[in-house]
Structure 1
Amino acid sequence: MNSIYNPLLESFEEAPFSKIKDEHYKPAILEAIKTAGKEIDAIANSQEAPGFENTVAALDFAGKQLDRVTSVFFNLNSAETNKEIQQIAQEVSPLLTEFKNDTILNKTLFERVKTVFEEQENLQLNVEEKTLLEKKYKAFSRNGANLPEEKQQELRAIDKELSSLSLKFGENVLEETNKFELQILNEEDLKGLPESFREEAKATAEAKEKQGWIFTLQYPSYIPFMKYAENRELRKKMSVAFGAKGFHGDDLDNRENVLSIAKLRHQRANLLGFETHAHFVLEQRMAETPEKVNNFLNELLEKAKPAAKREFTELENFAKKLDNIERLEKWDAAFYGEKLKQELFDLNDEKLKPYFKLENVIEGVFLVANKLYGLNFTEVFDVDKYHPDVKTYKVTDEYNEIIALFYADFHPREGKRNGAWMTIYKQQYIQNNQNERPHISIVCNFTKPSKTEPSLLTFNEVTTLFHEFGHALHGMLANTTYPSLSGANVYWDFVELPSQVLENWCYEKEALQLFAKHYKTGEAIPMELIEKIKESANFHEGMATVRQLSFGMLDLSWHGIDPTNITNVKAHEDKAFEATKLYPNVPENCMSTSFSHIFQGGYSAGYYSYKWAEVLDADTFEYFQEQGIFSREVANKFRENILSQGGTEHPMELYKRFRGKEPQPEALLKRAGLIPK
């Protein structure tokens, strides 16, 4: 133990955020790496004959302190970062990669795991133990344990460089997002923008001690601007800035990072005996191969493209009729889409937002979880937080047993990356007959309260909150023995099922009536608005589907081929988008240079999984609809077979146990209105 006090090296239940200073991180991580290394060595050099408990299970519980410290550090690097934290991340990431490789390439340790793996038939292991054994064995065999020494050194060098490059990629995207601002001084240029949104922009300008109104590339600022601003030139300016992140030929340019990451991943896959990075990744996914993924994406594209083309033509004609727009551009999409939606359904965000006060929506998602799973959420004020915006809740079940600690962080800040995600500060696991309960967090970027209004969510933000909360339930209701199989530690193309399925409740009258109440009058959302939400659910679903498929195809274009000869990121991307293209190309824009999901997050060769999981979620929700959306019987089956099981068994086996059959894509196509109901 260091003689200097370091809160991260103390034994802690809840993360001691208020006590942590930036200078604590690196020493704590170095010390925790040392401790974890000793634990690994003790397993590798044990004099006992290798067995499941003393080798495989012991390995899963090793490095617990390191997991806790790094989860705090990297979560804050996403949600509350600064230059110093980013610098520390660059310094410690290669060390963590090296430690991981030291473990994976430890011959003595691998021999012990291999011995247990080869003797498993005589060990009478249960399903979870068998899964853990296979997972541990593959972690070694798939990551270089069988390679000769010089190849292992090559692998180490690649991994080290990759960890540094992906961090740099993310830092550049964040800095680009924070750097841009559109300052408007002429009130005429605000035409079309709702009053609440103008007020927010005014507050942003005041906070920066500037005149007028300021709009940024943060989602709560960018998206409404693109939907409502009548000044087409300003929409273009915002759109081009958003699409050009990491594509300016300056020191924040990500093109070289993209090319290097793609090529290094390919080299790594080849080194390990795989044709491409996608072949390596998909071996441990439900989809299994790039061919299956391509077939899946192309099959959906075939169904969605005719609808997308019809919708695009309709939108083109509408924009021409309304404003004599000769050529529909990307910066027109949200604006005319919103206007057409209003004309067809008499529905817009401004009509809906008063019914979606953030606090009411939080209460609503808690009520849905209570009706389905008997969970209760009590806000607590004695839990340490990393920012005043964060809310903390104690989660209990019907018997008042502690289920989880839940953190929620809802508003944008400069130190927080864009988007929304679920994360974990402490895994659930069972050790020494003690069921350790998890600490789960969701992080979003929703509209802040203004001087005159509370935080009122758009309907899209409501579904985002339900989505992330679905992930959180997966973490909270985990009930497995081993930490690496707990909660969301599942095949990547299965991980979106719990999140996407929960979005369905946002469209249901029974659920909306629980929480959609006018923030001023308390009046429940009128039935006619609920009907319009339902009616408009498939508005431009063809275009939305094609857009999502285009991202999956772009991902595979980087990871499902040999990228060695790619020199021009933009040209490569344009070719990948050819089959899904609807809008004219924008030369100043490049998606790859800010596609954080695949170049910084965990979605490389996995972006298709959003659509894959939609098939599962539509099929799952169809079951709920048959039995009633608050059916405790179906909810219990979903909890017992999916949510609590984590990665203890192959997801298709879990799914079939829940549903009684394999998922049918028809449910998704019907819901999307792409085939008749």
Structure 2
Amino acid sequence: MLLSRGTNIFANYTRKKLRKFVKAKRHIVPTQLDNFSSHTCSVNTWSPLASAFNTKPSRMLSLQFSKDATGLFDVPELKEPEGFYLLKENAIHATQDLVTECCSSDRSRKMVEVFDHLSDTLCCVADLAEFIRMAHPQAKYSHAAEDACIAIGGLVEQLNTHKELYEALLDVYKNGDKFPTTDVDKHVTKLFLFDFEQSGIHLDEIKRKRVVGLNESILTLGQHFMNGSLQPRAIPKTKLPENLRQHFAIDGEKIIVTGLYADAHMEITREAAYKIFLYPDPHQESLLTELLRGRHEMATLCGFPSYAHRAINGSLAETPDLVLDFLTLLTKELKPRAKKDFEEMNLLKKAQYQYSKDISPWDVPYFTGQARQNKFNLNTSELAPYFSLGAVMDGLSGLLYNMYNVTLEIEETKHGELWSSDVYKLAVKHKTEGLLGYIYCDFYERQGKAHQDCHFTIRGGKLLPDGSYQDPIVVLHLNLPAPSWSSPSLLTPGMVEILFHEMGHALHSMLARTQYQHVTGTRCSTDFAEVPSILMEFFAMDTRVLRTFARHYKTGEPIPSELLERLVGSKSVFAASEMQLQTFYSMLDQRYYGAERWGSDTSTTHILEKVQTECYGLPYIQNTAWQLRFGHLVGYGAKYYSYLVSRAVASWIWQKYFAADPFSREMGEKYREEVLSHGGGKPPRAMVGEFLGREVVAENMVEALMTDLDHKKMKVEALRLH
């Protein structure tokens, strides 16, 4: 209920239009002018921001108690691990007082304000503890944080069954509050109510207990399915020809296949890995079937036609009907475009192998890589020197200055504030509004660090009773190569895109100025939360943006135009077939979780075969069960479509507002004012439709995606002619 938007997911009152900063047709922040004044500038012309990120961190970190130290994230209680106990106890006591206030007849403020205060009290402990549990290198801190997570989770479960609390909120929703409310108040109240009812609190006791039991069962099934999806497959050595065994790990008399070996040069190796690794597993099939049935029963008990209706409720798409319309139309439009991609892959395959069959599913990743190499002749060592981490961060700061009048500034940290010595703290500052919040940059690989690129909300923004604003705090958690003493961290183009993507999430948190933390920044539906981050990917691969910062870390020379064009063009290779694959995944996810149920004699593999025939350009391979390796069916159940809808909306925004000028201050401020500033505080479909001036329906979203694909195709063709 109260934590669902804060811990499970990843605004602006100023209306002034500020003049764009333009210098010799370049869009750069003032601190960067020297950086671009010469093609042969030296290292010492880097801005302070670039210099900080291009230098190996040298500050000393002490994780031991000191009387002069602050706590983690500058929280005084967290000077020691035991501080989590104090934070937890304070949250529990505050929660008791706030629940009493909600249920009181002489409440002195809006119900939604009390509920948001309650949500903020819990999230400020749970979000921080969840990150430290995952990220802190010392076991005593991670264990203390985990204990706090468990305690707050248990408290939330109690609140989810607090009938009096639920009925007080329901009464306000149905009959209105005794205090005047706004549309935002009503929207956020509805979100709180929906979070409550997902646990079945509105049902009779027998049904409610069944929902609770199903939730526990689904959690267990999902964990077992995820674990099984990652397990290697072992077969007897005799099942493979002797000349093929050498390509796989051998354990005694068994061959161990750990994945799909998509980069293997020999076709027979890729084929063998595909058929062995994806061979049907009866136990995984049983787990997935029980998971799907359990989620369907839980959803119908709570009053939804299907689990998809429950999962998509309140999202940008709003209903499974819109999702299915979108995916069906997208399938139709992609078919001829993807067919051309596969025909080109066939030509590549026949040129490489004298006697070969047509392209197969195990060939697609390999020949996509081959096409990029053949057409664009790119390699990481050629590109990486132009993308030092400092240069990329400088480019981001310059872009944000032009779009939003915002800069990123390195801020000195206090003793004890960090969990690792190689973390940077960025202050996000607006020229007229001042400090907007803090981004902690945990960018580098290190031993024991989780291998995931993500954005964590540590503290959400919200309007405080005295009229000030609770500035947000977030962490960007990446796995970039650490700098050495002789060179900075050098990024691949893929890493640059990831950094821009995750910065898009952080900016959603920083630029929002919502009344309630329950809906600040990324605390919104998945299909809407990904829009700002995917939009940033368009900036990351735009040649005009790249030219402002891509320069050699030693000489300062800008990246050659011809190399830059090849880089951007390479990102467009076989884009249609890749999108078709994502559409197939999304449609399968909807079929599994949709209202149309399937009989007890129908396996998930039979459904897979049917959907693949309808939606994908390559045939199903008999005796394989790809879905049993697809862990996203647990975490993104009925919401895997979100990536495509988010990409459609982001493409649409890019084409309408930024394709002509990615540095436009006018468009940037309009985007912030009408979209980013509201976080999840407005119904997303209506908000996005108003911003774009057209209704968010299947036809318009597919049109945006096809326009983007055709533009990418033109880039590839233009480079081919040269």
Q: What TM bracket, shorter-length normalisation?
A: 0.7 to 0.9
Q: Which protein, 1 or 2, shows the higher relative CO under an 8 Å CA cutoff with sep ≥ 6?
A: 2
Name the counterpart of 1:523. 557
What is the one-letter code of the residue matched to 2:614?
A
User: How far off its partner does 1:309 sit?
Assistant: 1.9
* Aligned 1:498-513 pairs, distance under 5 A: 498-513=532-547
Name the counterpart of 1:612. 645
Would the alpha carbon gap of residues 359 and 16 (structure 1) be closer, same or farther in structure 2, given more than 3 Å must change?
A: farther
Count of residue pairs the alignment pairs up = 618
Q: In the alignment, is the contact (CA less than 8 A) between 2:440 and 2:475 conserved in 1?
A: yes
Would the alpha carbon gap of residues 170 and 538 (structure 1) be closer, same or farther in structure 2, given more than 3 Å must change?
A: same
What is the one-letter code of the residue matched to 1:363?
D
Q: In the alignment, is the contact (CA less than 8 A) between 1:496 and 1:613 conserved in 2?
A: yes
SS of 1:62 mapped into structure 2: helix
SS of 2:394 mapped into structure 1: helix
Q: In the alignment, is the contact (CA less than 8 A) between 2:103 and 2:168 conserved in 1?
A: no
For residues 80 and 400 of structure 1, the distance between their equivalents in structure 2, rounded to whole angstroms, comes to 33
For residues 82 and 456 of structure 1, the distance between their equivalents in structure 2, rounded to whole angstroms, comes to 28
For residues 483 and 361 of structure 2, the distance between their equivalents in structure 1, rounded to whole angstroms, comes to 30
**Structure 2 counterpart of 1:42, from 100, 110, 133:** 100
**Structure 2 counterpart of 1:132, from 188, 191, 195:** 188
Is residue 606 of structure 2 the alignment partner of residue 577 of structure 1? no
**Structure 2 counterpart of 1:352, from 372, 380, 383:** 383
User: How far off its partner does 1:652 sit?
Assistant: 2.9
Partner deviation per Cα, 1:96-115 (whole Å, 9 max, x = no partner): 56543432332222222222
TM-score, normalised via structure 1 length: 0.79
Partner deviation per Cα, 1:430-456 (whole Å, 9 max, x = no partner): 122220000112223344557976433
Would the alpha carbon gap of residues 574 and 364 (structure 1) be closer, same or farther in structure 2, given more than 3 Å must change?
A: farther
Would the alpha carbon gap of residues 589 and 360 (structure 1) be closer, same or farther in structure 2, given more than 3 Å must change?
A: farther
Would the alpha carbon gap of residues 437 and 159 (structure 1) be closer, same or farther in structure 2, given more than 3 Å must change?
A: same
Name the counterpart of 2:43. none
Is residue 500 of structure 2 the alignment partner of residue 442 of structure 1? no
User: How far off its partner does 1:628 sit?
Assistant: 1.8
Partner deviation per Cα, 1:201-239 (whole Å, 9 max, x = no partner): xxxxxxxxxxxxxxx99xxxx99x955x64667767887
User: How far off its partner does 1:340 sit?
Assistant: 1.9
**Structure 1 counterpart of 2:708, from 665, 671, 674:** 671
What is the one-letter code of the residue matched to 1:671?
D
Name the counterpart of 2:320. 290
SS of 1:630 mapped into structure 2: coil
SS of 2:190 mapped into structure 1: helix
For residues 206 and 91 of structure 2, the distance between their equivalents in structure 1, rounded to whole angstroms, comes to 24
For residues 394 and 46 of structure 1, the distance between their equivalents in structure 2, rounded to whole angstroms, comes to 41
SS of 1:628 mapped into structure 2: coil
**Structure 2 counterpart of 1:151, from 196, 207, 225:** 207
Is residue 692 of structure 2 the alignment partner of residue 636 of structure 1? no
Would the alpha carbon gap of residues 658 and 144 (structure 1) be closer, same or farther in structure 2, given more than 3 Å must change?
A: same
Would the alpha carbon gap of residues 64 and 284 (structure 1) be closer, same or farther in structure 2, given more than 3 Å must change?
A: closer
For residues 507 and 606 of structure 1, the distance between their equivalents in structure 2, rounded to whole angstroms, comes to 27
Would the alpha carbon gap of residues 440 and 333 (structure 1) be closer, same or farther in structure 2, given more than 3 Å must change?
A: same
* Aligned 1:261-410 pairs, distance under 5 A: 261-324=291-354, 326-327=356-357, 328-382=359-413, 384-399=417-432, 401-410=434-443
Would the alpha carbon gap of residues 442 and 568 (structure 1) be closer, same or farther in structure 2, given more than 3 Å must change?
A: farther
SS of 2:556 mapped into structure 1: coil
Q: In the alignment, is the contact (CA less than 8 A) between 2:403 and 2:668 conserved in 1?
A: yes
User: How far off its partner does 1:277 sit?
Assistant: 0.6
What is the one-letter code of the residue matched to 1:125?
T
User: How far off its partner does 1:170 sit?
Assistant: 5.6
Partner deviation per Cα, 1:321-369 (whole Å, 9 max, x = no partner): 1233614455543332222223333444443333222332222222212
Partner deviation per Cα, 1:214-265 (whole Å, 9 max, x = no partner): xx99xxxx99x955x6466776788789x669x989xxx8655544433322
For residues 255 and 414 of structure 1, the distance between their equivalents in structure 2, rounded to whole angstroms, comes to 35
User: How far off its partner does 1:94 sit?
Assistant: 7.6
Name the counterpart of 2:501. 467
User: How far off its partner does 1:425 sit?
Assistant: 0.4
Q: In the alignment, is the contact (CA less than 8 A) between 1:43 and 1:109 conserved in 2?
A: no
SS of 1:304 mapped into structure 2: helix
User: How far off its partner does 1:312 sit?
Assistant: 1.3
Would the alpha carbon gap of residues 674 and 99 (structure 1) be closer, same or farther in structure 2, given more than 3 Å must change?
A: same
Would the alpha carbon gap of residues 260 and 367 (structure 1) be closer, same or farther in structure 2, given more than 3 Å must change?
A: farther
Q: In the alignment, is the contact (CA less than 8 A) between 2:572 and 2:712 conserved in 1?
A: no
Is residue 656 of structure 2 the alignment partner of residue 623 of structure 1? yes
Q: In the alignment, is the contact (CA less than 8 A) between 2:384 and 2:491 conserved in 1?
A: yes
For residues 174 and 76 of structure 1, the distance between their equivalents in structure 2, rounded to whole angstroms, comes to 25
Partner deviation per Cα, 1:587-639 (whole Å, 9 max, x = no partner): 89755455444413xx3211111111222111211123465211111100101
Q: In the alignment, is the contact (CA less than 8 A) between 1:477 and 1:644 conserved in 2?
A: yes
Would the alpha carbon gap of residues 438 and 270 (structure 1) be closer, same or farther in structure 2, given more than 3 Å must change?
A: same
For residues 136 and 145 of structure 1, the distance between their equivalents in structure 2, rounded to whole angstroms, comes to 13
User: How far off its partner does 1:124 sit?
Assistant: 3.6
TM-score, normalised via structure 2 length: 0.75
Name the counterpart of 1:557. 591
Query: Which is greater in Rg?
Result: 2
For residues 377 and 309 of structure 1, the distance between their equivalents in structure 2, rounded to whole angstroms, comes to 45
**Structure 1 counterpart of 2:175, from 115, 119, 123:** 119
Partner deviation per Cα, 1:551-571 (whole Å, 9 max, x = no partner): 212322332244784885555
Unaligned runs of 5+ in 2: 1-64, 234-246, 248-256, 715-722
SS of 1:538 mapped into structure 2: coil
For residues 629 and 152 of structure 2, the distance between their equivalents in structure 1, rounded to whole angstroms, comes to 25
Q: In the alignment, is the contact (CA less than 8 A) between 1:380 and 1:393 conserved in 2?
A: yes
Is residue 599 of structure 2 the alignment partner of residue 543 of structure 1? no
Q: In the alignment, is the contact (CA less than 8 A) between 2:110 and 2:177 conserved in 1?
A: no
SS of 1:673 mapped into structure 2: helix
For residues 74 and 626 of structure 2, the distance between their equivalents in structure 1, rounded to whole angstroms, comes to 38
SS of 2:469 mapped into structure 1: strand
What is the one-letter code of the residue matched to 1:526?
P
Q: In the alignment, is the contact (CA less than 8 A) between 1:391 and 1:407 conserved in 2?
A: yes
What is the one-letter code of the residue matched to 2:707?
K
SS of 1:607 mapped into structure 2: coil
Deviates more, 1:74-83 or 1:33-42: 74-83
For residues 565 and 14 of structure 1, the distance between their equivalents in structure 2, rounded to whole angstroms, comes to 56
Deviates more, 1:125-134 or 1:667-676: 667-676
SS of 1:295 mapped into structure 2: helix
Question: What fraction of aligned residue pairs are identical, expressed as a percent?
Answer: 25
User: How far off its partner does 1:86 sit?
Assistant: 9.6
What is the one-letter code of the residue matched to 1:484?
H
Unaligned runs of 5+ in 1: 178-190, 192-215
- Could you say what the CA RMSD is over the residues aligned between the two structures, in angstroms? 4.1
Deviates more, 1:273-282 or 1:131-140: 131-140
Q: In the alignment, is the contact (CA less than 8 A) between 1:104 and 1:143 conserved in 2?
A: yes
Q: In the alignment, is the contact (CA less than 8 A) between 2:71 and 2:77 conserved in 1?
A: no
For residues 450 and 558 of structure 2, the distance between their equivalents in structure 1, rounded to whole angstroms, comes to 34
Deviates more, 1:630-639 or 1:54-63: 54-63
SS of 1:405 mapped into structure 2: strand
Q: In the alignment, is the contact (CA less than 8 A) between 1:307 and 1:674 conserved in 2?
A: no
For residues 469 and 587 of structure 2, the distance between their equivalents in structure 1, rounded to whole angstroms, comes to 42
User: How far off its partner does 1:319 sit?
Assistant: 1.9
Deviates more, 1:101-110 or 1:581-590: 581-590
Name the counterpart of 1:599. 634
